[in-house]
Every structure is written in structure tokens, then in C-alpha cells.
Amino acid sequence: MAQFDVYPNPNPASRSRVPFLVALPSDLLGTFDATVVAPLRLKSDPDVIPVLRLNPIMKIDGTEYFLRPQELAAIATRSLKTPAANLTSQRDEILAALDFLFTGF
């Protein structure tokens, strides 16, 4: 599992609202039984009101999603199967969103 790998949401109950999860831990830490993920919500979802700097737009296969770090969760690593994408190219935006979440800056 690489940092910023994007996985299909393994939970059928929330998959329509949250189609993808982004793995956040550094590759340097190795693999744990659980991993921290941030949801990706469709940009077109009328229930999502983005916050500047907190919810950057991520693009996967031409579809735009908002990163939702304010909805961080820890889930079993074994539930994440094959990555659908990797967002390393948007590393700066993801880290800035996490920094804003935790420090307000």
C-alpha cells in the first residue's frame, strides 16, 4: 500500500456517497492492521459544501471529487484490495488540507 493510493470504498452502505478512500500514512511506516483514510466525495454531490483549502478537488479517470479530510477514518488494511489510482501528483494539496485541518494554517 502506497501513500495516496485510492481504493474503492469496501463498505456497500456508504459506497454511493463515498466511492473512494485515499490511504494517507507514509510508506516509511510499513503496513499496519489498520490504516487512516480520507474519503473522496463526488464534486457534483449537492450535500457536499466544500471549504477552501480543506477540500481540494481530486481527479480520477476524468471525474472530480472533493477530498474530505474532516471525515478521516481508520479502517482494516485488509479491506482495501486493489488501488484504482494514486494521487501522489496532488501531494501538496493533500498535505495542505491535512495541515489546515489540524493547525488551521
Residues in the chain, overall count? 105
Q: Identity (one letter) of the amino acid at 14? A: S
Give pTM, 2 decimals: 0.95
**Cα angle 18, 85, 75; round to 5:** 50
Range 100-104 contact pairs with CB under 8 angstroms and sequence separation of 24 or more = 100/53, 100/54, 101/54, 101/69, 101/70, 101/72
pLDDT of residue 89: 97
Tell which wins on pLDDT, 54 or 31. 54
Distance CA 100, CA 62 (A): 26
CATH number for the domain whose boundaries are 5-103: 2.30.30.110
pLDDT in tens, 35-64: 999 999 999 999 999 999 999 999 999 999
pLDDT of residue 31: 77
Enumerate the domain spans of the chain. 5-103
